[in-house]
Amino acid sequence: MKKALILGAGGFIGSHMVKRLKKEGYWVRGVDLKYPEFGKTEADEFVIGDLRNPLVVKEVILAPNQNELGKGSFDEVYQFAADMGGAGYVFTGDNDANIMHNSAMINLNVAEWAVKYKIKLLFYSSSACIYPKYNQMDPNNPKLSEDSAYPAAPDSEYGWEKLFSERLYLTFLKNLGLNIRISRFHNIFGPEGTWEGGKEKAPAALCRKVIEAQDGDFIDVWGDGKQTRSFLYIDECLEAVLRLMDSDFIGPVNIGSEEMISINNLVRMIIGISGKNLKIKNIKGPEGVRGRNSDNKLYREKIGWEVSQPLKVGIEKTYQWIEEQVKSRKN
């Protein structure tokens, strides 16, 4: 039986990955500061621990029954833990010191102990936020091919930390033989993601606003609404990660959708799903770059797989799930 360690297993992508790997027959240990928010974890073992602490990382990376020389080590380690949130958390500047310090500490510890305890394969989740701002000024023609990352000019400290950690893991591969796979996620969304409180991302925040609105209301949308993005449904993300892990391609490689949509059109899509009569009001707020869309050419070439569903299918499922959350909160 394969053994996997999932760091950040209490978070959105990590908790979904636990479920997916359990379905695939793995033995799974999850680690996080907190348990998953929506439903019990399916991990065989769940450790509450702070990965900024090297002693915690040392302890959790050692697999059950592993000897200190590496025999019996984890087959796969998934590093999802990070101090992150949506635009309201990442782009205001108020959380930059925490974002930089907390996530860098986690990655420094993980890289060190992954080598010392000879884990067989490590996945690192980087982000589309590493891409330079200067290639994302035109909402209709953003450039996000992997080789466009340099000269680096991310538009947030969150992006800089991700770029630093990509490079950290790549040096551990080059000098110390750490076997890694790196992907740059582009806006992953779906049920059981944060949907209120300030750390939620655009699809969840917009679904919530529409669900809470009454006929005739205006939906507040940050910026002029012409900024473009693409969004990838969680199940597709997990499939893409597992296929990357099964390949011998190291990355960094984009994992995202190429179905680009303006934020106002995303709101229109959600309003359409709701069946309500609502209008859009564009207001001042953190909005990030003007245009962003995944470029999947490299992934297609190296892994040979495509996203299978249109955005609307995932948005419908997410809308339904958030609607249930809103209803149960009111009861």
- The catalytic residue positions are 158
Letters for 87-126 (x = contact with ligand NAD by CB under 6 A, - = none) are: ---------------x---x------------------x-
**Residue 50 engages ligand NAD in binding (rule: CB under 6 A):** yes
Contact 2, 26 (CB under 8 A): yes
Q: Which is nearer to ligand NAD, 250 or 280 (CB)?
A: 250
Residue 182 φ then ψ, to 5°: -125, 130
Report the Cα 256 to chain-centroid distance in Å.
Answer: 10
Q: Which of 1, 23, 25, 34 binds ligand NAD (CB under 6 A)?
A: 34
CB 155 within 8 A of CB 292: no
Of the residues 4, 5, 6, 14, which one makes contact with ligand NAD according to CB under 6 A: 14
In Å, the largest CA–CA distance within the chain is 66
The size of the chain, in residues, is 331
Residue closer to ligand NAD by CB (options 278, 299) is 299
Q: Which residues make Cβ contacts (< 8 Å) with residue 283, sequence separation at least 6?
A: 220, 221, 222
C-alpha angle 130/136/141, rounded to 5°? 130
Q: Does 13 bind ligand NAD (CB under 6 A)?
A: yes
Is 32 a residue that touches ligand NAD (CB under 6 A)?
yes
* Cβ proximity to ligand NAD, 119 vs 129, nearer residue: 129
CB-based contacts of 161: which residues, under 8 Å, 6+ apart? Answer: 99, 100, 103, 104
Rounded to the nearest whole angstrom, what is the least distance from the CB of residue 195 to ligand NAD in the complex? 12
| Contact track, ligand NAD, 275-304, x by CB under 6 A | ------------------------------
The CB density around residue 152, as the number of other CB atoms within 10 Å, is 13
End-to-end CA distance of the chain: 43
Q: How far is the CB of 153 from ligand NAD (least distance, A)?
A: 18
Closest CA to 55 of 3, 137, 113: 113
Size of the site for ligand NAD (CB under 6 A): 25
Binding mask 140-159 for ligand NAD (x = CB under 6 A): --------------------
Beta carbon of residue 13, minimum distance to ligand NAD (angstroms, whole number) = 4
Contacts of 266 (CB under 8 A, 6+ apart): 202, 203, 206, 229, 231, 315
| Residue 63 touches ligand NAD, criterion: CB under 6 A | no
Q: Is 187 in the site for ligand NAD (CB under 6 A)?
A: yes
Residues 269/271/275/281 CA torsion (nearest 10 deg):
-150
Taking contact as CB under 6 A, which single stretch among the options 26-34, 167-175, 246-254, 269-277 is the one that binds ligand NAD? 26-34
Residue 242 interacts with ligand NAD (CB under 6 A)? no
Nearest distance in Å: CB 199, ligand NAD: 7
Shortest reach from residue 214's CB to ligand NAD, in Å: 30
Residue whose beta carbon is closest to ligand NAD: 11
Q: Is the peptide bond before 310 cis (omega within 30 degrees of 0)?
A: no
11 binds ligand NAD (CB under 6 A): yes
Distance of alpha carbon 117 from the chain centroid: 26
Q: Which of 78, 185, 195, 233 binds ligand NAD (CB under 6 A)?
A: 185
Separation of CA 91 from chain center: 16
By CB under 6 A, name the binding residues for ligand NAD.
Answer: 8, 10-14, 32-34, 50-52, 80-84, 102, 106, 125, 127, 185, 187-188, 201
